[in-house]
Amino acid sequence: MKKLLLPVVVLLVLVGCDKDKFQTKPQITIKDYTEVVPRQGQLEIRLEFTDKEGDLSEGSFVYIPVRLNQKPLPAGVEYDSIKSVIPKFPNNDKGDFFLKLPHIFLLKSPTENDTLVFRMVVVDRAGNKSDTVSSDKIIILQ
């Protein structure tokens, strides 16, 4: 019995380690981003993705800017969630893509810097949705 136990344990460990490293559900992580966006500058967030089937090209990308300032914005001024189509690129199971937004699009307050957190999610062509990732605080200078 003891002679069979060791090979079975080794086999189970080897089978457990042979799992695919990528999942069907896309995974995204924030690699780096602009922490302070000056006037005339732009926000750049670099995201890394993994997707087992490599079908993220022409999928959906949704981002939601969340304003953290205590002082409310003027009536009728707000941040909206944005849904866009990921540009076409060769099917890859891993890669990077960027969110780039100009300063003029980001600053909503007429009197102070805006502090934002961005929440982002991707959906591949098969409809598999990633978990939501959030940036740290990003300052948009007045």
The yes-or-no verdict on residue 18 having pLDDT over 50 is no
- Return d(Cα 25, Cα 123) in angstroms, integer: 8
Whole-angstrom Cα Rg for the chain: 21
Q: Whole-prediction pTM value?
A: 0.81
pLDDT band at 20 (very low <50, low <70, confident <90, very high): low
Domain count within the chain:
1
Flag whether 102 is in a domain: yes
Residue 104's contacts (CB-CB under 8 Å, 6 or more residues apart) are none
Domain for residue 53, yes or no? Answer: yes
Domain interval for residue 117? 21-140
- Please write the tens of the pLDDT for every residue from 41-63: 999 999 999 999 989 999 999 99
- Tell me the C-alpha to C-alpha distance, in Å, between residue 113 and each of 22, 38, 49, 59, 67: 40, 10, 31, 33, 11
Say whether pLDDT at 97 is over 60. yes
CATH code assigned at 115? 2.60.40.2550
pLDDT at 47: 95
Q: How far is CA 91 from the centre of its chain?
A: 18
Mean pLDDT of the chain: 86
